[in-house]
């Protein structure tokens, strides 16, 4: 009897079925009431009592193996069937639509690349800030009217938790941690409490640059600005500096470039003047250096800040600021070739 069981076990382990009908025939052959295993079970009655335990064990094993093998074959048919039903492996793949960079990201990258070529590296800071980093450290005295230059969003009525109104806050963050030489470019989003219109938004983007070292002069600032303007717009671009005021720089200036739309002849865009304003800049106020633990008798520096939207408007003549945040795919597609 044991020989018979072993012979059947070998058969079962090697059994194959090409389709469901063949498999059903195998099931009937081995597992049905009149099948081979049932017949063995019948014969089991005649096995000598002292062998029943051993033979019974093998018999059960045979039954289990047969059932498992049949289930296995059945599952393989079922899998093949679902694959055939649901997936056409010969079909060509759907094309994956590539996205494009947002125009503001493109311009941000270009600005950072230009300053990167002058040795500046990127620094970033938090958008939720405190009064020290956005105002006090930058020489905005408490209750100084200069704080009204930028309408601030405060968080939970706490005057010490606010959304940064400019990326100049990153200057302080870096200078507090690092001694000169410092040469950083800080891109980021800023927030101001302003009514949204085609020319103003409650959030926008800025890039701040800061250079602090021994003997940094206004001439260095001018040279960096001229290089930037020519690289960003065209080699023919001219710059001019007008005296201005910022609490954190002394002296301060605003920079105009020759209008890149009319080439300086005068057009509606530059209101007939031939010049457009693009950024603020100046020599870092010694108070700011001292606030951050840098010796203003040893070191000097320049800083500049510009709006990325403003530069993008000039470069691509986008007339409505709101376009940048509406995510209208027809607008964004127009920048595909610039990517
Ligand atoms: N933080 C100024 C603003 O948001 C921009 C600015 C002006 C930054 C002059 C500077 C600077 O670093 O020197 O309007």
pLDDT band at 150 (very low <50, low <70, confident <90, very high): low
Closest C-alpha residue for ligand 1 atom 8 = 305
Closest C-alpha residue for ligand 1 atom 6 = 305
- Which residue would you say has higher pLDDT here, 120 or 84? 120
Average pLDDT over residues 117-141: 95
What is the residue-averaged pLDDT of the chain? 91
pLDDT score for 144: 77
Closest C-alpha residue for ligand 1 atom 3 = 166
Residue to substitute in 139, 174, 194, 208 for testing ligand 1 pocket (most ligand atoms within 8 angstroms of CB) = 208
pLDDT score for 223: 97
pLDDT band at 82 (very low <50, low <70, confident <90, very high): low
- What atom in ligand 1 is closest to the CA of residue 167? 1
Residue 24 burial (CB count, 10 A): 14
pLDDT score for 173: 98
Q: Please report the sign of the dihedral spanned by the C-alpha atoms of residue 227, residue 230, residue 235, residue 237.
A: negative
For the ranges 57-61, 85-89, 126-130, 196-200, which has the lowest average pLDDT?
Answer: 85-89
Q: Give the separation between CA 240 and CA 128, rounded to whole angstroms.
A: 34
For the ranges 12-26, 75-89, 171-185, 283-297, which has the lowest average pLDDT?
Answer: 75-89
Closest C-alpha residue for ligand 1 atom 4 = 166
pLDDT band at 96 (very low <50, low <70, confident <90, very high): confident
Tens digits of residue pLDDT in 307-334: 999 999 999 988 899 999 999 999 998 9
- Relative to beta strand 275-284, strand 300-307 is antiparallel
Average pLDDT over residues 204-215: 98
pLDDT surpassing 80 at residue 77: no
The two counts, helices (H) then strands (E), for the chain are: 12, 10
Closest C-alpha residue for ligand 1 atom 2 = 305
pLDDT band at 286 (very low <50, low <70, confident <90, very high): very high
pLDDT score for 247: 94
Residue to substitute in 170, 248, 288 for testing ligand 1 pocket (most ligand atoms within 8 angstroms of CB) = 248
**Considering the chain, what percentage of its residues have pLDDT values greater than 70?**
97
- Which residue would you say has higher pLDDT here, 99 or 101? 101
pLDDT score for 211: 98
Average pLDDT over residues 146-159: 77
- Relative to beta strand 128-129, strand 249-258 is unpaired
Whole-number Å distance, alpha carbon 246 to ligand 1 midpoint, is 7
Given a contact cutoff of 8 angstroms between Cβ atoms, the answer to whether 165 and 191 are in contact is yes
pLDDT score for 278: 95
Residue to substitute in 305, 306, 308 for testing ligand 1 pocket (most ligand atoms within 8 angstroms of CB) = 305
Residue 30 burial (CB count, 10 A): 21
Burial of 277 (0-12, 13-18, 19+ CB in 10 A): middle
Residue to substitute in 140, 304, 306 for testing ligand 1 pocket (most ligand atoms within 8 angstroms of CB) = 304
Average pLDDT over residues 89-102: 84
Q: Please report the sign of the dihedral spanned by the C-alpha atoms of residue 245, residue 246, residue 251, residue 256.
A: negative
Tens digits of residue pLDDT in 217-230: 999 999 999 999 99
Whole-number Å distance, alpha carbon 105 to ligand 1 midpoint, is 20
Whole-number Å distance, alpha carbon 175 to ligand 1 midpoint, is 16
pLDDT score for 18: 83
Closest C-alpha residue for ligand 1 atom 7 = 280
pTM metric for this prediction: 0.72
pLDDT score for 80: 63
**Shortest CA distance to 246 belongs to which of 204, 303, 191?**
303
Q: Which two tokens stand for residue 178?
A: 């690092």
| Residue in this structure with the two tokens 């530069």, named with its chain if needed | 311
For the ranges 89-93, 120-124, 164-168, which has the lowest average pLDDT?
Answer: 89-93
pLDDT score for 46: 87
For the ranges 32-46, 184-198, 253-267, 302-316, which has the lowest average pLDDT?
Answer: 32-46
- What atom in ligand 1 is closest to the CA of residue 302? 13
pLDDT surpassing 70 at residue 148: no
Whole-number Å distance, alpha carbon 80 to ligand 1 midpoint, is 67
Whole-number Å distance, alpha carbon 189 to ligand 1 midpoint, is 14
pLDDT score for 84: 59
Q: Which residues, judged by CB distance below 6 Å to any ligand atom, belong to the binding site of ligand 1?
A: 166, 168, 208, 246, 249, 280-282, 303-305
- Which residue would you say has higher pLDDT here, 251 or 337? 251
């Amino acid at each position: 009897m044991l020989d018979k069981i072993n012979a059947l076990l070998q058969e079962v382990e090697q059994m194959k079925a090409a389709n469901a009908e063949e498999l059903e025939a195998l099931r009937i052959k081995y597992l049905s009431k009149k099948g081979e295993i049932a017949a063995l079970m019948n014969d089991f009655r005649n096995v000598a009592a002292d062998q029943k335990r051993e033979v019974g064990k093998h018999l059960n094993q045979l039954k289990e193996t047969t059932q498992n093998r049949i289930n296995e074959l059945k599952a393989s048919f079922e899998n093949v069937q679902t694959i055939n039903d649901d997936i056409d492996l010969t079909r060509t793949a759907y094309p994956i639509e590539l996205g494009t960079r947002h125009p503001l990201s493109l311009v941000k990258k270009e600005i950072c690349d230009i300053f990167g070529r002058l040795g500046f590296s990127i620094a970033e800071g938090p958008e939720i800030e405190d009064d020290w980093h956005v105002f006090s450290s930058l020489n905005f005295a408490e209750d100084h009217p200069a704080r009204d230059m930028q309408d601030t969003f405060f968080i939970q009525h706490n005057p010490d938790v606010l959304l940064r109104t400019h990326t100049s806050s990153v200057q302080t963050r870096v200078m507090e941690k690092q001694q000169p030489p410092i040469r950083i470019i800080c891109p980021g989003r800023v927030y101001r409490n302003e009514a949204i219109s085609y020319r103003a938004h409650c959030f926008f983007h800025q890039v701040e640059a800061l250079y602090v070292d021994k003997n940094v002069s206004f001439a260095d600032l001018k040279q960096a600005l001229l290089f930037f303007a020519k690289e960003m717009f065209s080699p023919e671009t001219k710059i001019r500096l007008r005296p201005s005021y910022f609490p954190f720089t002394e002296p301060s200036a605003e920079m105009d470039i020759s209008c890149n739309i009319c080439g300086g002849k005068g057009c509606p865009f530059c209101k007939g003047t031939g010049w457009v304003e693009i950024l603020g800049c100046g020599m870092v106020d010694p108070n700011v250096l001292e606030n951050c633990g840098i010796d203003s008798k040893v070191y000097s520096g320049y800083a500049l800040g510009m709006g990325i939207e403003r530069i993008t408007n000039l470069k691509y003549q986008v007339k409505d600021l709101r376009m940048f945040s509406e995510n209208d795919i027809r607008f964004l597609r127009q920048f595909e070739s610039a990517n």
